[in-house]
Amino acid sequence: MLHQINFKKYGLWSMLCALFLFTACRYSKEPKTFENKDISIQFPSYLFEADDVYPAKNSILQAKNEYRDVYFILVDHGPKPGAQGFELMCDSIFNQLKRNLKEPNIEAKDTLFTTVNQFKVKEYQLSGILSSEKQDHRFQFVIDVFEAPNGHIYQTAGWLLRTKRDLWLKDLQTAAYSLQSKSTK
């Protein structure tokens, strides 16, 4: 009889814990919105804002989900530096990333296009190994450099374990493409 009581007690406890974990791990299908006085962007609800993703003073949004190994940032590079400034920024950002990776591999040919929000965009997809003290991981990066209609340069970067790209890479691209200038809304 004592075993039946303990089983019922622990069975109920296990069911409550499972229900809690199930509801705690669910995310809204609606994206979160970040905005400041100049721009707005939507990013997946499973990412949480943080301040330790990218250590640069010009990053205006940093979001991550360490459980899923997915990261996303938005960086404000300021006004375009001269007539060829957009191309110079693109080359600088891409080359800097390549230098910081072991075994860099271009995953997709870079593309140049205009978003529905009238931003000129150059996108790169690159994978490479990032090392920590304990292990190496191959991450895939999707880097978008944007030129706003007023010549302002922004950058988004999303990265995730390369083995998980089929799960969340499109989410990172959708977030990047949602960048919108408040002056064109």
pLDDT band at 2 (very low <50, low <70, confident <90, very high): very low
Provide the terminal-to-terminal Cα distance of the chain, rounded to the nearest Å. 69
Our count of domains for the chain comes to 1
Residue-wise pLDDT tens digits, 97-126: 999 999 999 999 899 999 988 999 999 999
Query: Is the residue at 17 inside a domain?
Result: no
Query: Is the residue at 71 inside a domain?
Result: yes
Query: Is the residue at 37 inside a domain?
Result: yes
Query: Is the residue at 72 inside a domain?
Result: yes
Q: Which residue has the tokens 């075993």?
A: 3
For the cut 80, the answer to whether the pLDDT of residue 21 exceeds it is no
Comparing C-alpha atoms, which of 55, 37, 36, 146 is closest to residue 93? 146
Dihedral sign (CA 157, 162, 163, 165)? positive
Residue 144 belongs to domain with CATH number: 3.40.1000.10
Report which residue type is found at 55. Answer: P
User: The pTM is what?
Assistant: 0.82
What residue numbers bound the domain in which 111 lies? 30-184
For the cut 80, the answer to whether the pLDDT of residue 6 exceeds it is no
